[in-house]
Structure 1
């Protein structure tokens, strides 16, 4: 092709100019590394600002889990009392004597156990509350069920377990135990 151009009397400069008009220099269609890093930094900042805070959801679920675990233990104790024909207690603490000052624990949040009072047999053991949650009971250190499944207590009214978050009442949820031993969960949350 260059020979044809030379034969027609065109010089080399004019040849280069003609070729450059036909094939303009290629321009890069990608991004530079700096541009890419800047865009990534902006997207990261936007993601951090726009993403929701999941802490309230996690704490709320831990409190609900705590409530369901104590409800399960209470239902188990009531069933075992009827099945065994003996007094069964749900006691705070994971060791020590049930219903005495030597319960092995200072609060329900440290754990609890289901115990047959005739043979002092531990039927079930629960290791305690999830971190940053609390559990309290309005009627003492233990819940006792008789052979008919009723709650034995010095209190004539209902006794209430309250599960919540340490340092705040925002997540408090209640579980009540009537004289008949029936456990009722508070579903108003």
Structure 2
């Protein structure tokens, strides 16, 4: 009979326990969020570098396959509302690969990343050997907020012979 008068205890969290747990998680998330900024910047820059590098390899291979006449060209400022390519050196609105008026590939602008090219120019022409002209080209890719002073900044070097390599920071090739 004594069992009739004992209440069954429910398992789970009380509202107070749940609120304390949520508060602790919010404080920890607020403390951890700034440390992810550098990681996110490095990821964005790396993604843009890999996309540009893949496009350069594609342009070279198409130039060899088609006997030259392949052009890698920056998209103009204002394309699709993008405002990251006002100057000739700025490639922040993306780029295209084309031949004799035929568009082969188009690349969307990288998100929150600056892309600049030196020597300044709106295009790179590949000949039938896959060579990128007489001059070497370099692309500096950096986070939009931090600029070239960021540790995430990477330089992509394109030798006149077509060799492509990446270097950390804003350095000359």
Please point out which of 64, 76, 87 is paired with 2:46: 64
* Alpha-carbon distance in structure 1 between the residues aligned to 2:108 and 2:9: 62
Whether 1:79 and 2:61 are equivalent positions in the alignment is yes
Any gaps of 5 or more consecutive residues in structure 1?
A: 1-18, 96-104
Alignment of 1:139-178 (within 5 A): 139=119, 140-153=121-134, 155=135, 158-168=136-146, 169-170=149-150, 171-178=152-159
Give the Cα separation in 2 of the matches to 1:137 and 1:109.
Answer: 10
- Structure 2 gaps, min length 5: 78-84
TM-score, L = length of structure 1: 0.68
Preserved contact between residue 94 and residue 125 of structure 1 (Cα < 8 Å): no
Asked if the contact 2:153–2:168 (Cα under 8 Å) also holds between the matched residues in 1, the reply is no
Alpha-carbon distance, 1:137 to partner: 0.9
Aligned-partner Cα distance in 2 for 1:43–1:59:
31
CA distance in 1, matches of 2:115, 2:155: 10
Give CA deviations for 1:19-45 in whole Å, capped at 9, x if unaligned. 9xx77953664489xx82221111112
Which of 113, 119, 127 is residue 133 of structure 1 equivalent to? 113
**What is the TM-score normalised by the length of structure 2?**
0.73
Q: 1: CA distance between counterparts of 2:98 and 2:3?
A: 90
- Aligned equivalents of 1:143 and 1:77: distance in 2? 10
Indicate the structure (1 or 2) with the bigger Cα radius of gyration. 1
RMSD of Structure 2 on Structure 1 (CA): 2.8
- Tell me how far 1:114 sits from its aligned partner: 0.7
Q: Distance in 1 between matches of 2:4 and 2:53?
A: 79
Q: What SS class does the counterpart of residue 86 from structure 1 fall into?
A: coil
How many residues are matched? 151
**Does residue 63 of structure 2 align to residue 93 of structure 1?**
no
SS in 2 for 1:147: coil
